Structure 1
Amino acid sequence: MNGTGAQLAELDRLAAAHPEPGVDVLICPPATLIHRAASALAQSPVSVGGQDCHAAMSGAHTGDVAAQMLAEAGATAAILGHSERRADHGETDAQVRDKTAAAIAAGLVAVVCLGESLDDREAGRTLDVVGAQLDGSVPDDASADRLVIAYEPIWAIGTGKVPTLEQIGEVHDFLRDRLSARFGREPGTAIRLLYGGSVKPGNAAEIFAVNNVDGALVGGASLKAEDFSPIIAALEAA
Protein backbone atom coordinates (compact mmCIF):
# COMPACT_ATOMS: atom_id res chain seq x y z
CA MET A 1 0.00 0.00 0.00
CA ASN A 2 2.60 2.46 -1.24
CA GLY A 3 2.47 4.77 -4.21
CA THR A 4 0.49 7.64 -5.67
CA GLY A 5 0.50 9.14 -9.13
CA ALA A 6 3.40 11.41 -8.25
CA GLN A 7 5.67 8.37 -7.88
CA LEU A 8 5.05 7.15 -11.42
CA ALA A 9 8.07 9.23 -12.41
CA GLU A 10 10.16 6.48 -10.82
CA LEU A 11 9.01 4.18 -13.63
CA ASP A 12 10.41 6.58 -16.24
CA ARG A 13 13.74 6.55 -14.42
CA LEU A 14 13.75 2.77 -14.20
CA ALA A 15 12.87 2.31 -17.87
CA ALA A 16 15.56 4.78 -18.90
CA ALA A 17 18.16 2.93 -16.82
CA HIS A 18 17.21 -0.46 -18.34
CA PRO A 19 16.02 0.08 -21.92
CA GLU A 20 16.87 -3.52 -22.80
CA PRO A 21 17.12 -5.49 -19.56
CA GLY A 22 18.65 -8.92 -19.86
CA VAL A 23 16.12 -10.26 -17.34
CA ASP A 24 12.37 -10.02 -16.78
CA VAL A 25 11.41 -6.94 -14.76
CA LEU A 26 7.97 -6.68 -13.20
CA ILE A 27 6.50 -3.79 -11.23
CA CYS A 28 3.39 -4.44 -9.11
CA PRO A 29 1.88 -1.12 -8.02
CA PRO A 30 -1.41 -0.60 -6.16
CA ALA A 31 -4.49 -1.40 -8.23
CA THR A 32 -5.22 2.32 -8.57
CA LEU A 33 -2.01 2.79 -10.57
CA ILE A 34 -1.93 -0.34 -12.74
CA HIS A 35 -3.45 1.22 -15.85
CA ARG A 36 -1.35 4.38 -15.59
CA ALA A 37 1.80 2.36 -14.93
CA ALA A 38 1.12 0.06 -17.89
CA SER A 39 0.56 3.09 -20.13
CA ALA A 40 3.78 4.71 -18.91
CA LEU A 41 5.73 1.53 -19.65
CA ALA A 42 4.00 0.69 -22.92
CA GLN A 43 7.20 1.27 -24.92
CA SER A 44 9.40 -0.45 -22.33
CA PRO A 45 10.11 -4.16 -21.74
CA VAL A 46 9.29 -3.58 -18.06
CA SER A 47 5.98 -5.33 -17.22
CA VAL A 48 3.24 -4.44 -14.76
CA GLY A 49 1.34 -6.71 -12.38
CA GLY A 50 -1.20 -6.61 -9.56
CA GLN A 51 -0.72 -7.34 -5.87
CA ASP A 52 -3.73 -9.65 -5.52
CA CYS A 53 -6.88 -10.83 -7.27
CA HIS A 54 -10.17 -12.47 -6.32
CA ALA A 55 -10.82 -16.11 -7.11
CA ALA A 56 -14.10 -15.29 -8.86
CA MET A 57 -14.22 -13.72 -12.29
CA SER A 58 -17.08 -11.42 -11.25
CA GLY A 59 -19.82 -11.11 -8.66
CA ALA A 60 -20.91 -9.39 -5.46
CA HIS A 61 -17.46 -8.92 -3.95
CA THR A 62 -17.30 -5.21 -3.16
CA GLY A 63 -13.78 -3.89 -2.95
CA ASP A 64 -12.16 -6.87 -4.66
CA VAL A 65 -10.56 -7.00 -8.11
CA ALA A 66 -10.92 -9.90 -10.54
CA ALA A 67 -7.98 -11.29 -12.47
CA GLN A 68 -9.52 -10.37 -15.80
CA MET A 69 -9.91 -6.79 -14.55
CA LEU A 70 -6.19 -6.69 -13.82
CA ALA A 71 -5.47 -8.00 -17.32
CA GLU A 72 -7.76 -5.42 -18.89
CA ALA A 73 -5.96 -2.67 -16.96
CA GLY A 74 -2.64 -3.78 -18.46
CA ALA A 75 -1.31 -6.25 -15.89
CA THR A 76 0.49 -9.38 -17.03
CA ALA A 77 0.94 -10.97 -13.58
CA ALA A 78 -0.43 -11.02 -10.04
CA ILE A 79 1.23 -11.60 -6.68
CA LEU A 80 -0.82 -14.12 -4.70
CA GLY A 81 -0.62 -15.47 -1.15
CA HIS A 82 1.80 -12.85 0.12
CA SER A 83 2.37 -13.27 3.84
CA GLU A 84 0.72 -9.91 4.53
CA ARG A 85 -2.42 -11.10 2.73
CA ARG A 86 -2.31 -14.38 4.63
CA ALA A 87 -1.86 -12.55 7.95
CA ASP A 88 -4.07 -9.48 7.47
CA HIS A 89 -6.92 -11.24 5.65
CA GLY A 90 -6.59 -14.80 6.90
CA GLU A 91 -6.00 -16.23 3.43
CA THR A 92 -5.63 -20.01 3.43
CA ASP A 93 -3.66 -22.17 1.03
CA ALA A 94 -6.95 -23.26 -0.55
CA GLN A 95 -7.96 -19.65 -1.18
CA VAL A 96 -4.56 -18.86 -2.66
CA ARG A 97 -4.90 -21.92 -4.87
CA ASP A 98 -8.26 -20.68 -6.18
CA LYS A 99 -6.85 -17.21 -6.81
CA THR A 100 -3.89 -18.74 -8.62
CA ALA A 101 -6.21 -20.74 -10.85
CA ALA A 102 -8.21 -17.58 -11.61
CA ALA A 103 -5.08 -15.62 -12.48
CA ILE A 104 -3.83 -18.34 -14.80
CA ALA A 105 -7.27 -18.61 -16.45
CA ALA A 106 -7.17 -14.86 -17.12
CA GLY A 107 -3.80 -15.20 -18.86
CA LEU A 108 -1.75 -13.77 -16.01
CA VAL A 109 1.48 -15.11 -14.51
CA ALA A 110 0.78 -16.12 -10.91
CA VAL A 111 3.55 -15.21 -8.47
CA VAL A 112 2.73 -17.44 -5.50
CA CYS A 113 4.36 -16.55 -2.18
CA LEU A 114 5.46 -18.98 0.52
CA GLY A 115 7.26 -18.43 3.80
CA GLU A 116 7.66 -19.42 7.41
CA SER A 117 7.38 -17.41 10.63
CA LEU A 118 10.26 -16.92 13.04
CA ASP A 119 8.67 -19.46 15.39
CA ASP A 120 8.55 -22.00 12.55
CA ARG A 121 12.18 -21.32 11.66
CA GLU A 122 13.41 -21.65 15.24
CA ALA A 123 11.38 -24.83 15.75
CA GLY A 124 12.88 -26.45 12.65
CA ARG A 125 9.55 -26.49 10.79
CA THR A 126 10.58 -24.39 7.78
CA LEU A 127 10.53 -27.11 5.14
CA ASP A 128 7.32 -28.62 6.48
CA VAL A 129 5.59 -25.22 6.38
CA VAL A 130 6.73 -24.12 2.92
CA GLY A 131 6.17 -27.60 1.53
CA ALA A 132 2.58 -27.61 2.75
CA GLN A 133 2.04 -24.09 1.39
CA LEU A 134 3.44 -25.11 -1.99
CA ASP A 135 1.25 -28.21 -2.17
CA GLY A 136 -1.87 -26.37 -1.10
CA SER A 137 -1.44 -23.08 -2.97
CA VAL A 138 -0.54 -24.29 -6.47
CA PRO A 139 -3.18 -25.89 -8.74
CA ASP A 140 -2.37 -29.13 -10.52
CA ASP A 141 -2.59 -27.61 -14.00
CA ALA A 142 -0.04 -24.86 -13.33
CA SER A 143 2.79 -24.59 -15.87
CA ALA A 144 6.16 -22.89 -15.95
CA ASP A 145 5.01 -20.13 -18.29
CA ARG A 146 2.21 -19.10 -15.90
CA LEU A 147 3.69 -19.85 -12.46
CA VAL A 148 6.46 -18.27 -10.41
CA ILE A 149 7.18 -19.26 -6.79
CA ALA A 150 8.50 -16.66 -4.34
CA TYR A 151 10.03 -17.80 -1.05
CA GLU A 152 9.71 -15.02 1.52
CA PRO A 153 10.55 -15.91 5.11
CA ILE A 154 8.04 -13.79 7.03
CA TRP A 155 10.58 -12.80 9.66
CA ALA A 156 12.85 -11.28 7.00
CA ILE A 157 10.28 -9.05 5.25
CA GLY A 158 11.05 -5.40 5.94
CA THR A 159 13.14 -6.22 9.01
CA GLY A 160 16.60 -6.03 7.51
CA LYS A 161 17.16 -9.61 8.67
CA VAL A 162 18.15 -12.03 5.94
CA PRO A 163 18.61 -15.81 6.20
CA THR A 164 22.08 -17.11 5.59
CA LEU A 165 22.90 -18.07 2.02
CA GLU A 166 22.90 -21.69 3.16
CA GLN A 167 19.37 -21.34 4.57
CA ILE A 168 18.12 -19.72 1.37
CA GLY A 169 19.75 -22.45 -0.69
CA GLU A 170 18.27 -25.21 1.45
CA VAL A 171 14.71 -23.93 0.92
CA HIS A 172 15.14 -23.24 -2.79
CA ASP A 173 16.67 -26.69 -3.41
CA PHE A 174 13.79 -28.23 -1.46
CA LEU A 175 11.20 -26.31 -3.51
CA ARG A 176 12.90 -27.30 -6.76
CA ASP A 177 12.86 -30.96 -5.81
CA ARG A 178 9.23 -30.71 -4.69
CA LEU A 179 8.15 -29.07 -7.95
CA SER A 180 10.07 -31.63 -10.02
CA ALA A 181 8.48 -34.51 -8.12
CA ARG A 182 5.01 -33.09 -8.69
CA PHE A 183 5.19 -31.74 -12.23
CA GLY A 184 8.10 -33.68 -13.72
CA ARG A 185 11.78 -32.85 -13.86
CA GLU A 186 11.73 -30.61 -16.93
CA PRO A 187 8.61 -28.58 -15.97
CA GLY A 188 9.72 -28.45 -12.34
CA THR A 189 13.12 -27.10 -13.35
CA ALA A 190 11.57 -24.45 -15.60
CA ILE A 191 9.40 -22.88 -12.87
CA ARG A 192 11.22 -19.80 -11.62
CA LEU A 193 12.01 -19.51 -7.91
CA LEU A 194 12.37 -16.02 -6.45
CA TYR A 195 13.77 -15.07 -3.08
CA GLY A 196 12.13 -12.21 -1.17
CA GLY A 197 12.80 -10.66 2.21
CA SER A 198 15.00 -7.57 2.66
CA VAL A 199 16.67 -7.88 -0.75
CA LYS A 200 18.83 -4.79 -1.25
CA PRO A 201 21.50 -3.55 -3.66
CA GLY A 202 24.14 -4.57 -1.14
CA ASN A 203 23.11 -8.23 -0.83
CA ALA A 204 21.44 -8.97 -4.18
CA ALA A 205 24.50 -10.32 -5.98
CA GLU A 206 25.33 -12.91 -3.32
CA ILE A 207 21.71 -14.02 -3.12
CA PHE A 208 21.49 -14.43 -6.90
CA ALA A 209 24.61 -16.63 -6.77
CA VAL A 210 22.75 -19.20 -4.65
CA ASN A 211 21.71 -22.36 -6.50
CA ASN A 212 18.06 -22.36 -7.64
CA VAL A 213 17.56 -18.65 -6.95
CA ASP A 214 16.26 -17.33 -10.27
CA GLY A 215 15.40 -13.80 -9.19
CA ALA A 216 13.91 -11.72 -6.39
CA LEU A 217 10.58 -10.43 -5.16
CA VAL A 218 11.65 -7.00 -3.96
CA GLY A 219 9.70 -4.95 -1.42
CA GLY A 220 10.85 -1.62 -0.04
CA ALA A 221 13.91 -1.41 -2.28
CA SER A 222 11.63 -1.33 -5.34
CA LEU A 223 9.99 1.98 -4.41
CA LYS A 224 12.79 4.08 -5.90
CA ALA A 225 14.56 3.47 -9.19
CA GLU A 226 17.94 4.28 -7.67
CA ASP A 227 17.53 1.37 -5.23
CA PHE A 228 15.82 -1.10 -7.55
CA SER A 229 18.08 -0.54 -10.56
CA PRO A 230 21.24 -2.01 -8.93
CA ILE A 231 19.25 -5.14 -8.01
CA ILE A 232 18.23 -5.57 -11.63
CA ALA A 233 21.84 -5.07 -12.68
CA ALA A 234 22.98 -7.69 -10.17
CA LEU A 235 20.60 -10.24 -11.67
CA GLU A 236 21.73 -9.37 -15.20
CA ALA A 237 25.30 -10.08 -14.10
CA ALA A 238 24.47 -13.34 -12.30
Structure 2
Amino acid sequence: MRTPLIAGNWKMNGSSELVEAFGRGFSEASLSEALEVVVFPPFPYLEAAQRCFSGTPLKLGAQTLNPLHSGARTGEVSGRMLREFGVAYALVGHSERRQLYRESDEDVYDRLLAALSVDMAPVLCVGETLEERDAGRTMEVVLRQVGYAMARLEPEQRARVIIAYEPVWAIGTGRTATPQQAQEVMAGIREYQAGFDRDLASGLRLLYGGSMNADNAAELLAQPDIDGGLVGGASLKVDDFLAICQSAG
Protein backbone atom coordinates (compact mmCIF):
# COMPACT_ATOMS: atom_id res chain seq x y z
CA MET A 1 0.00 0.00 0.00
CA ARG A 2 1.55 3.30 -1.10
CA THR A 3 1.35 6.23 1.32
CA PRO A 4 -0.32 9.25 -0.32
CA LEU A 5 1.82 12.39 -0.42
CA ILE A 6 0.71 15.97 -1.01
CA ALA A 7 3.54 18.45 -1.53
CA GLY A 8 3.24 22.23 -1.71
CA ASN A 9 5.91 24.09 -3.69
CA TRP A 10 5.80 27.77 -2.77
CA LYS A 11 8.50 28.65 -5.32
CA MET A 12 9.72 32.26 -4.79
CA ASN A 13 6.60 33.22 -2.85
CA GLY A 14 5.51 33.37 0.74
CA SER A 15 6.17 35.37 3.87
CA SER A 16 6.67 34.92 7.58
CA GLU A 17 2.94 35.53 7.98
CA LEU A 18 2.13 32.71 5.56
CA VAL A 19 4.40 30.32 7.45
CA GLU A 20 2.59 31.16 10.67
CA ALA A 21 -0.82 30.82 9.02
CA PHE A 22 0.05 27.33 7.81
CA GLY A 23 1.27 26.39 11.27
CA ARG A 24 -2.02 27.54 12.82
CA GLY A 25 -4.22 26.06 10.10
CA PHE A 26 -2.64 22.61 10.12
CA SER A 27 -2.35 22.41 13.90
CA GLU A 28 -6.15 22.20 13.93
CA ALA A 29 -6.52 20.07 10.81
CA SER A 30 -7.99 16.59 10.87
CA LEU A 31 -6.07 14.49 8.36
CA SER A 32 -5.55 10.79 7.87
CA GLU A 33 -2.48 9.47 9.66
CA ALA A 34 -1.68 7.55 6.47
CA LEU A 35 -1.18 10.81 4.54
CA GLU A 36 2.16 12.63 4.25
CA VAL A 37 2.13 16.39 3.70
CA VAL A 38 5.24 18.36 2.76
CA VAL A 39 5.77 22.08 2.22
CA PHE A 40 8.68 23.45 0.17
CA PRO A 41 9.12 27.10 1.27
CA PRO A 42 11.92 29.43 0.12
CA PHE A 43 15.15 28.95 2.07
CA PRO A 44 14.81 32.09 4.28
CA TYR A 45 11.66 30.69 5.87
CA LEU A 46 12.98 27.26 6.83
CA GLU A 47 13.83 28.16 10.42
CA ALA A 48 10.43 29.77 11.00
CA ALA A 49 8.69 26.85 9.30
CA GLN A 50 10.57 24.33 11.44
CA ARG A 51 9.28 26.14 14.51
CA CYS A 52 5.72 26.85 13.32
CA PHE A 53 5.12 23.40 11.82
CA SER A 54 6.14 21.59 15.00
CA GLY A 55 3.18 19.62 16.29
CA THR A 56 1.42 19.67 12.90
CA PRO A 57 1.34 17.03 10.12
CA LEU A 58 3.51 19.29 7.93
CA LYS A 59 7.01 18.15 6.97
CA LEU A 60 9.68 20.32 5.39
CA GLY A 61 11.21 20.14 1.95
CA ALA A 62 13.79 22.15 -0.01
CA GLN A 63 13.20 23.46 -3.51
CA THR A 64 16.73 22.53 -4.62
CA LEU A 65 20.19 21.86 -3.22
CA ASN A 66 23.79 21.98 -4.37
CA PRO A 67 25.49 18.68 -5.19
CA LEU A 68 28.40 19.55 -2.87
CA HIS A 69 28.31 19.45 0.93
CA SER A 70 30.37 22.64 1.26
CA GLY A 71 32.81 24.85 -0.61
CA ALA A 72 33.22 28.00 -2.68
CA ARG A 73 29.71 28.13 -4.13
CA THR A 74 28.38 31.60 -3.31
CA GLY A 75 24.61 31.71 -3.06
CA GLU A 76 24.18 27.94 -2.88
CA VAL A 77 22.80 25.71 -0.11
CA SER A 78 23.92 22.17 0.72
CA GLY A 79 21.98 19.17 1.90
CA ARG A 80 23.85 19.09 5.18
CA MET A 81 22.75 22.66 5.90
CA LEU A 82 19.16 21.83 5.05
CA ARG A 83 19.13 18.83 7.36
CA GLU A 84 19.92 21.15 10.29
CA PHE A 85 16.45 22.64 9.78
CA GLY A 86 14.69 19.30 9.68
CA VAL A 87 14.35 19.22 5.90
CA ALA A 88 13.43 15.68 4.86
CA TYR A 89 12.60 16.10 1.15
CA ALA A 90 14.19 17.88 -1.80
CA LEU A 91 12.84 18.76 -5.21
CA VAL A 92 15.27 17.90 -8.00
CA GLY A 93 14.80 18.68 -11.67
CA HIS A 94 11.78 20.96 -11.40
CA SER A 95 10.94 22.26 -14.87
CA GLU A 96 11.78 25.82 -13.81
CA ARG A 97 15.25 24.70 -12.72
CA ARG A 98 15.71 22.83 -16.00
CA GLN A 99 14.51 25.72 -18.15
CA LEU A 100 15.53 28.90 -16.32
CA TYR A 101 18.81 27.66 -14.86
CA ARG A 102 19.71 25.20 -17.62
CA GLU A 103 19.96 22.18 -15.32
CA SER A 104 20.71 19.12 -17.42
CA ASP A 105 19.75 15.52 -16.68
CA GLU A 106 23.28 15.13 -15.30
CA ASP A 107 22.86 18.15 -13.02
CA VAL A 108 19.57 16.74 -11.78
CA TYR A 109 21.15 13.36 -11.10
CA ASP A 110 23.97 14.97 -9.09
CA ARG A 111 21.42 16.79 -6.92
CA LEU A 112 19.43 13.60 -6.47
CA LEU A 113 22.55 11.81 -5.22
CA ALA A 114 23.30 14.71 -2.88
CA ALA A 115 19.84 14.42 -1.33
CA LEU A 116 20.16 10.67 -0.88
CA SER A 117 23.60 11.07 0.70
CA VAL A 118 22.14 13.08 3.60
CA ASP A 119 19.07 10.86 4.01
CA MET A 120 16.63 13.22 2.28
CA ALA A 121 13.96 11.84 -0.03
CA PRO A 122 14.40 13.31 -3.52
CA VAL A 123 11.31 14.22 -5.51
CA LEU A 124 12.43 13.80 -9.11
CA CYS A 125 10.41 16.11 -11.38
CA VAL A 126 9.87 15.12 -15.01
CA GLY A 127 7.64 16.38 -17.79
CA GLU A 128 7.25 17.45 -21.38
CA THR A 129 6.68 20.82 -23.05
CA LEU A 130 3.62 21.56 -25.18
CA GLU A 131 5.70 21.21 -28.35
CA GLU A 132 6.92 17.79 -27.23
CA ARG A 133 3.40 16.64 -26.38
CA ASP A 134 2.01 17.86 -29.71
CA ALA A 135 4.82 15.98 -31.46
CA GLY A 136 3.79 12.77 -29.72
CA ARG A 137 7.02 12.62 -27.71
CA THR A 138 5.59 12.70 -24.18
CA MET A 139 6.69 9.24 -23.07
CA GLU A 140 10.03 9.53 -24.87
CA VAL A 141 10.87 12.72 -22.97
CA VAL A 142 9.50 11.61 -19.62
CA LEU A 143 11.19 8.21 -19.66
CA ARG A 144 14.49 9.76 -20.74
CA GLN A 145 14.39 12.04 -17.71
CA VAL A 146 13.34 9.22 -15.40
CA GLY A 147 15.79 6.74 -16.86
CA TYR A 148 18.83 8.99 -16.73
CA ALA A 149 18.61 9.02 -12.96
CA MET A 150 16.99 5.74 -12.03
CA ALA A 151 19.11 3.51 -14.26
CA ARG A 152 22.25 4.75 -12.47
CA LEU A 153 21.01 4.13 -8.95
CA GLU A 154 21.38 1.09 -6.75
CA PRO A 155 18.11 -0.71 -5.90
CA GLU A 156 18.14 0.65 -2.33
CA GLN A 157 18.51 4.18 -3.67
CA ARG A 158 15.73 3.78 -6.24
CA ALA A 159 13.36 2.73 -3.48
CA ARG A 160 13.77 6.14 -1.79
CA VAL A 161 12.99 8.26 -4.86
CA ILE A 162 9.58 9.86 -5.43
CA ILE A 163 8.70 10.90 -8.98
CA ALA A 164 6.53 13.91 -9.83
CA TYR A 165 5.12 14.15 -13.34
CA GLU A 166 4.62 17.81 -14.16
CA PRO A 167 3.61 18.54 -17.76
CA VAL A 168 5.38 21.83 -18.40
CA TRP A 169 2.45 23.14 -20.42
CA ALA A 170 0.17 22.80 -17.38
CA ILE A 171 2.33 24.62 -14.81
CA GLY A 172 1.02 28.02 -13.80
CA THR A 173 -1.18 28.20 -16.90
CA GLY A 174 -4.44 27.08 -15.38
CA ARG A 175 -4.43 24.19 -17.84
CA THR A 176 -4.41 20.71 -16.37
CA ALA A 177 -3.80 17.34 -17.92
CA THR A 178 -6.99 15.34 -17.86
CA PRO A 179 -7.04 12.56 -15.28
CA GLN A 180 -6.79 10.10 -18.16
CA GLN A 181 -3.76 11.87 -19.67
CA ALA A 182 -2.01 12.00 -16.31
CA GLN A 183 -2.84 8.35 -15.56
CA GLU A 184 -1.46 7.24 -18.93
CA VAL A 185 1.91 8.83 -18.20
CA MET A 186 2.00 7.59 -14.61
CA ALA A 187 1.26 4.05 -15.73
CA GLY A 188 4.07 4.32 -18.28
CA ILE A 189 6.53 5.42 -15.60
CA ARG A 190 5.51 2.56 -13.32
CA GLU A 191 5.80 0.05 -16.16
CA TYR A 192 9.29 1.39 -16.95
CA GLN A 193 10.30 0.95 -13.31
CA ALA A 194 9.04 -2.61 -13.39
CA GLY A 195 11.89 -3.31 -15.79
CA PHE A 196 14.23 -2.86 -12.82
CA ASP A 197 12.12 -4.47 -10.13
CA ARG A 198 8.38 -5.19 -10.08
CA ASP A 199 8.16 -4.87 -6.30
CA LEU A 200 9.94 -1.53 -6.49
CA ALA A 201 7.58 -0.37 -9.22
CA SER A 202 4.49 -1.30 -7.22
CA GLY A 203 5.78 0.71 -4.25
CA LEU A 204 6.99 3.74 -6.21
CA ARG A 205 5.11 6.90 -5.29
CA LEU A 206 4.05 9.01 -8.27
CA LEU A 207 2.81 12.57 -7.86
CA TYR A 208 0.95 14.73 -10.36
CA GLY A 209 2.10 18.33 -10.69
CA GLY A 210 0.53 20.85 -13.04
CA SER A 211 -2.20 23.14 -11.73
CA MET A 212 -3.69 20.70 -9.22
CA ASN A 213 -6.22 22.57 -7.12
CA ALA A 214 -9.08 22.01 -4.69
CA ASP A 215 -11.56 21.53 -7.55
CA ASN A 216 -9.72 18.90 -9.58
CA ALA A 217 -7.65 17.12 -6.91
CA ALA A 218 -10.17 14.40 -6.04
CA GLU A 219 -10.59 13.26 -9.65
CA LEU A 220 -6.84 13.23 -10.29
CA LEU A 221 -6.07 11.43 -7.05
CA ALA A 222 -8.68 8.77 -7.84
CA GLN A 223 -6.50 7.45 -10.68
CA PRO A 224 -4.84 4.13 -9.80
CA ASP A 225 -1.26 5.27 -10.45
CA ILE A 226 -1.47 8.78 -8.98
CA ASP A 227 -0.34 8.69 -5.34
CA GLY A 228 -0.41 12.40 -4.58
CA GLY A 229 0.27 15.84 -5.93
CA LEU A 230 2.98 18.46 -6.29
CA VAL A 231 0.92 21.60 -5.84
CA GLY A 232 1.99 25.08 -6.92
CA GLY A 233 -0.30 28.11 -6.68
CA ALA A 234 -2.94 26.38 -4.58
CA SER A 235 -0.32 25.62 -1.92
CA LEU A 236 -0.10 29.33 -1.08
CA LYS A 237 -3.58 29.37 0.45
CA VAL A 238 -4.09 27.43 3.66
CA ASP A 239 -7.72 26.50 3.00
CA ASP A 240 -7.11 25.42 -0.60
CA PHE A 241 -4.08 23.32 0.28
CA LEU A 242 -5.88 21.74 3.21
CA ALA A 243 -8.80 20.85 0.92
CA ILE A 244 -6.41 19.08 -1.46
CA CYS A 245 -4.90 17.17 1.46
CA GLN A 246 -8.36 16.11 2.59
CA SER A 247 -9.10 14.86 -0.93
CA ALA A 248 -6.09 12.58 -0.65
CA GLY A 249 -6.80 11.33 2.85
Same fold (TM over 0.5): yes
Q: Give TM-score, length-normalised by structure 1.
A: 0.95
Which is further off, 50-59 or 16-25?
16-25
Partner of 1:48: 60
Distance 1:90 1:159 in 2: 21
Label 1:187 to 1:160 Cα distance change in 2 as closer, same or farther (>3 A). Answer: same
Asked if the contact 2:31/2:246 (under 8 Å) is kept, the reply is no
Partner of 2:190: 176
Residues 57-76 of structure 1 correspond to what in structure 2 (within 5 A)? 57-76=69-88
RMSD of aligned Cα (Å): 1.2
Gaps of 5+ in 1: none
2:17 to 6, 21, 43: 6
Distance 2:238 2:32 in 1: 14
Give secondary structure in 2 for the equivalent of 1:25: strand
Asked if the contact 1:19/1:45 (under 8 Å) is kept, the reply is no
How far apart are 1:164 and its partner, in Å?
1.8
Distance 1:128 1:94 in 2: 17
Distance 1:105 1:136 in 2: 18
Q: Which has the higher contact order (CA 8 A, sep 6+)?
A: 2
Distance 1:37 1:73 in 2: 9
**Correspondence 1:227 to 2:226:** no
Structure 2 counterpart of 1:143, one-letter code: R
Partner of 1:165: 179
Partner of 2:26: 15
Partner of 2:165: 151
Structure 2 counterpart of 1:99, one-letter code: R
Which is further off, 131-140 or 11-20?
11-20
How far apart are 1:18 and its partner, in Å?
2.4
- Give aligned-pair identity as a percent: 39
Structure 2 counterpart of 1:15, one-letter code: F
Aligned residues: 234
Q: Give TM-score, length-normalised by structure 2.
A: 0.91
How far apart are 1:45 and its partner, in Å?
2.5
Runs of at least 4 residues off by over 6 Å: none
1:206 to 219, 227, 238: 219
Which digits, 9 at most, give the CA deviation of each residue in 1:86-141, with x for residues without a partner? 01100011110110011011010101100000000000000000000001133412
How far apart are 1:224 and its partner, in Å?
1.1
How far apart are 1:26 and its partner, in Å?
0.3
**Correspondence 1:92 to 2:107:** no
Structure 2 counterpart of 1:36, one-letter code: A
Distance 2:25 2:199 in 1: 34
Asked if the contact 2:166/2:208 (under 8 Å) is kept, the reply is yes
